[in-house]
Amino acid sequence: DSGVTQTPKHLITATGQRVTLRCSPRSGDLSVYWYQQSLDQGLQFLIQYYNGEERAKGNILERFSAQQFPDLHSELNLSSLELGDSALYFCASSVYDQTYNEQFFGPGTRLTVL
């Protein structure tokens, strides 16, 4: 158990809908990262928050947004969903924002868009 929790574990929805994925980082970790893993793909970095502020953006679509709240939990919002958004979404956390920081991953949320 990494100490990172993600809810829900599974989510099935229809095209055009909006969903929210939730992540609670390990106690004491200030950085939260979101990744997408599509079929046969590696982990694609989406976005990072550090202590409530957006720190870095990766391959995140404009239909997707995220935020980190004062208690450091984070939410990833996906809107106008398309079939291609079906994927595993992982959240990770780390103490700081440094190159030598190991990231701890949650178990993921499997999103299926029908």
Which residues would be at the binding site for other proteins (CB under 8 A)?
2, 4, 33, 35, 40-45, 48, 50, 55-56, 58, 90, 92, 97-108
Min. distance of Cβ 80 from other proteins in angstroms? 26
Q: CA–CA separation, 4 vs 22, rounded Å?
A: 11
Reading across the β-sheet that carries 19-24, which strands appear in turn?
5-7, 19-24, 74-78, 64-68
Min. distance of Cβ 15 from other proteins in angstroms? 26
Tokens of 110: 């499997």
Question: Of 36 and 85, which CB lies nearer to other proteins in the complex structure?
Answer: 36
Question: Of 41 and 112, which CB lies nearer to other proteins in the complex structure?
Answer: 41
Q: CA–CA separation, 64 vs 19, rounded Å?
A: 10
Question: Of 75 and 97, which CB lies nearer to other proteins in the complex structure?
Answer: 97
Question: Of 48 and 74, which CB lies nearer to other proteins in the complex structure?
Answer: 48
Please list the residues that pair with 64 across neighbouring strands: 78
